[in-house]
Amino acid sequence: MSQTTRPPSGSKEVSLFHSTTRDSPRAALVASLTEAPGASGDELRLLSARADWLEVRADLVGEIGVEWLRERFAGGLLYTLRSEAEGGRGPVDADRRAERFAAARGYDLVDLEADRDLGRQTLAAIEPKRRLVSWHGRGASLKALRGRLRQVSGVEARLYKLVTAPGRSGEELAPLELLLDTGRRDVAAFSMGAIGAWTRQVAPRLGAPWVYGAAGALVAAPGQPSIGRLRADYGLPGLPRVSKLFGVIGHPAAHSLSPRLHNAGYRDRGEAALYVAFDAPSFETFWTRIVQSDFFRRAGMPLGGLSVTAPHKAAALAAAAEAGDLAARTGGANTLLPGSGGAGERQWRAESTDPEGVVGPLRRLGIELPDRAAVVIGAGGAGRAAAVGLADAGAEVAIANRTASTGRAAAESLGADFVALDELAPGEFDIVVNATSLGRDPADPFPCDPNAVRTSAAAVELVYGGGPTPWSRALAARGIRVAEGRDVLLHQGLAQFEAMTGKPLPLDVGAAALGLETAR
């Protein structure tokens, strides 16, 4: 079977399978086009430098002339007409689909759905070297996927694609097990949806030749990352050796910038490691079916450590066999480290670097913490950790919370003062910390009135996204020094990285990965 495609009209030779050379292993990046390009097609020209293949989702964008595409995209072209039965908007009827495939003439590959596109008319029109046979379905066992692979392999093609939609943690392992089981290099198998999103990064390390990413804002399938994120967060298309797997557990988890931070650190420190984002609706199910699975050991990438974010920090502490002092005092763990019992057993140690996430950025801003009056808004796990970090640094801490009973209990357990949120006077404090989730949505109310914070104070915003939150911007506009959510992530991540790998992550490397300035 040929491993390259030679598109007509002078475009570059495109690798179908990832390179197997020892010096430069790589995956092929496939950009899914789900919105009609502009008249100039300039976005496709830019995409040529970032992706090897362009998947034209004809069920979403209609038919686009092949020659027009070739003038603007230098890689290979894949035609996909995803049916309504498999999550798209294309027809289900085989005859109607066969008629639409006439528009795929001139494409390098055509996606043929195994359940409806393998009739004689379609196969006669699309020669084997241009076929990608695909199947998308609900969560399936390894046995069921083996059967599916035998079915689709009965039709000669250049690539076979099997994608599952898991309903709960653990089901997403089946496609990875299939890759590990078969050792084939002409099979792309992974899981979609939030739960299965992490398998997209692990699959190419097990032989899957392609990785799909969204070309624009509209994803082609649930859980699909953008091409930009595949490159920035995971270093794709490069496939350096991986001997340990790390990740962050949360719900949701797709927004996390931790993969970008930690994977940048691995590249800088020369670590053979990969860090992914695990979306776990149920921590208990994830713990039993993923963490305690022996899959990662068999795949040659045992779990080397886990970050934990909302809402699972208390559950992570309870699951660990032992806990460090900060995790015990804050009532939650943001870090899990495998102990002597091994990753596949229940011998994990719970730690927390969340306090450093608040204290570190303040020190970086030049804030002296001893004897400063600080208020933490929010009495959840993040608020407790912030209060512990500030108190240990010598600040006098108060906790403000909307629900008085919760806030008072947290304050009493930590030896802090309590103030009802509706009675809070922010101007009385030197340091104001937002430890609530307010700010994730731009329409959220402010945690407190930014105009009531004195200009000589400093603030810490635990929420992060693509940039400063509205609350952070309002504070900064008044000249108030603000440590943003990415600053918090950086400092707790630096401590976490060293705890997991035994190596320090340089501040400038971490800051650059998160788009932060290093001068301050």
Q: What 8-state DSSP symbol labels residue 377?
A: E
Question: In this structure, which amino acid lies at residue 91?
Answer: P
Tokens of 403: 């629900």
Long-range contacts from 121-127, C-beta under 8 angstroms, 24+ separation: 122/94, 122/97, 122/98, 123/155, 125/98, 125/101, 126/101
- Identify whether 313 is a catalytic site residue: yes
Q: What is the 3-state secondary structure (H, E, C) of 493-519?
A: HHHHHHHHHCCCCCHHHHHHHCCCCCC
Catalytic residue among 12, 244, 313, 503: 313
Q: Could you tell me the sign of the dihedral formed by the alpha carbons of 77, 165, 259, 266, in that order?
A: negative
Query: CA–CA separation, 410 vs 429, rounded Å?
Result: 19
- Strand partners of residue 213: 31
Q: Could you tell me the sign of the dihedral formed by the alpha carbons of 211, 215, 216, 222, in that order?
A: negative
Helix (H, G, I), strand (E, B) or coil at 235: coil
Are 323 and 349 contacting, i.e. CB atoms less than 8 angstroms apart? yes
Could you tell me the end-to-end alpha-carbon distance of the chain, in angstroms, rounded to an integer?
56
Query: CA–CA separation, 55 vs 34, rounded Å?
Result: 9
Are 343 and 370 contacting, i.e. CB atoms less than 8 angstroms apart? no
Please count the CA atoms within 13 angstroms of the CA of 218 that sit on its side-chain side.
10
Report how far Cα 283 is from the mean position of its chain's Cα atoms.
17
Cis peptide preceding 252, ω within 30 of 0: yes
* DSSP secondary structure, 207-229, as one string: T--EEEEESSSS-SSTTPPBHHH
Nearest to 376 by CA among 363, 366, 385: 385
Helix (H, G, I), strand (E, B) or coil at 142: helix
Catalytic residue set: 313
